[in-house]
Amino acid sequence: MAQRNLKARYHVTGPKREMVTYEKCTMNEDKNLVRETVTEEKDCYHVRFPQGHSIRVTSYDRLKELGYHIRPRMVDMDTGDVVDLGGDPYDFARGDDDNVVVADDADMPTRRKARTADATA
């Protein structure tokens, strides 16, 4: 049987202290919006995906909100199927190919969708 190309859905590294620059908006006493650029040091987590993409998350609370605080499921990179090795959804060991169970995304736990600024509701 051919070797399967299995990878984790994502890989999180961190926390690492980094300088983060962002726009801070406040209202002044005249009820006008004041925008200022702020740079401060924060704990950052880097989330890398098997296709080569990555994101930086600037707090553990945000990492938890996105769902990247738990160990990821394994994915067959050739078919896109979520696979469970040996019945444990977070088993990173390479088991034998006869004991691979293909799971459906419907089996994944659901979480409340985060409302974003570009969402239409």
Domain-wise residue ranges, the chain = 6-107
**Dihedrals φ, ψ of 65, to 5°?**
-60, -35
Q: How confident is the model at residue 114 (pLDDT cuts 50, 70, 90)?
A: low
* pLDDT above 60 (res 104): no
pLDDT of residue 68: 86
pLDDT of residue 87: 43
Give alpha helix (H) positions in 48-90: 60-66
Instruction: Give mean pLDDT, residues 13-18.
Output: 88
Between 1 and 75, the higher pLDDT residue: 75
Q: What's the mean pLDDT when you consider all of the chain?
A: 75
44: left (phi over 0), alpha (psi -120 to 50) or beta: beta
Q: Does 109 sit behind a cis peptide bond, omega within 30 degrees of 0 on the bond before it?
A: no
Q: Tell me the pTM.
A: 0.59
Between 43 and 116, the higher pLDDT residue: 43
Total residue length of the chain: 121
